[in-house]
Structure 1
Amino acid sequence: MILHSVNGRFAIRDGNWKLLAWRWSGGYSDSQKKADGTPVYAGLPEVQLYDMEKDPRETANLAGQHPEVVSRLMARLEKQVAEGRSTPGAAAHNDVPVKISKP
């Protein structure tokens, strides 16, 4: 299952795994800054991987511990976004350009 945020950031679910293909989540925008002027998401990892059965609140990013899962889900996400669909059928197009963060 492919998911995306209101600002077009993508995620993909497969079984218990959820891969977020961006470095921040939940309410942050490109324009939000810390007191020192740096973006609120500066220094965060490019992707996030969560085991939704064990961690439904998404508190422990497991991307570094499971690079094979990240690679598999990232490949599937990129393929489905490039094809403009996640269901069988002819390729479609996306309404806007899509940028997916890479680990």
Structure 2
Amino acid sequence: TGVSLSEDMGEDSYNILPALLGETFDTPIREATVHHSIRGKFAIRKGRWVLIDAPNGDDNKEPDWFVEERGYVPHHHPGELFDLERDRIERFNRYAEYPEIVEELKTLLEKYKREGRSVSR
């Protein structure tokens, strides 16, 4: 659009227009993507992994019939970690199996929250 943004506008945004127009990239456009719910819950996706920093989607809980129909496996962990390469529908929580990935993603998420953005400037 040709509109210039000041430093405090679109502070966590990346220009993805080239990707939408078909340009290919050798590396990801951004290191990780942060998701934020209306109730203040966070998730972070980096590569094949997504960490949900809540025990069960919390404010976006699926109805019981849906959980049963899809075969979601119940758990009692403080968060959820999914391997999107092997489990696109996020059925199997890997939180307890990969504590090093949980820690890496939690650390990165906290860094982004502390700095107020995930875009390097």
Task: Output one character per residue of 1:41-93: Cα deviation in whole Å (capped at 9) or x when no partner.
Answer: xx73111100011111111000111000001010000010111100013xxxx
Counterpart of 1:70 in structure 2: which amino acid? V
Among residues 41, 47, 55, which one is paired with 1:15 in the alignment? 47
- 1:27 lines up with 2:76 in the alignment: no
Task: Output one character per residue of 1:9-66: Cα deviation in whole Å (capped at 9) or x when no partner.
Answer: 10001111000001121624xxxxxxxxxxxxxx731111000111111110001110
**TM-score, with length taken from structure 2:** 0.58
For 2:79 and 2:98, how far apart are their aligned partners in 1?
12
Structure with bigger gyration radius: 2
Q: Displacement of 1:6 after TM fit? A: 2.3
For these two proteins, the number of residue pairs brought into alignment is 75
For 1:20 and 1:52, how far apart are their aligned partners in 2?
13
- 1:45 lines up with 2:69 in the alignment: no
Among residues 86, 89, 94, which one is paired with 1:57 in the alignment? 89
Higher relative contact order (CA 8 A, sep 6+): 1
| Structure 2 partner of 1:88 | 120
**TM-score, with length taken from structure 1:** 0.67
Q: Displacement of 1:5 after TM fit? A: 1.6
Query: Which has the larger helix fraction?
Result: 2
For 2:118 and 2:60, how far apart are their aligned partners in 1?
26
Instruction: State whether residues 77 and 96 of structure 2, in contact with CA within 8 Å, keep that contact through their aligned partners in structure 1.
Output: no
Q: Cα RMSD (Å) of the superposition? A: 1.5
For 1:62 and 1:7, how far apart are their aligned partners in 2?
24
| Structure 2 partner of 1:73 | 105
Structure 1: any 5+ residue segments left out of the alignment? 29-42, 90-103
For 1:85 and 1:22, how far apart are their aligned partners in 2?
21
Structure 2: any 5+ residue segments left out of the alignment? 1-32, 62-74
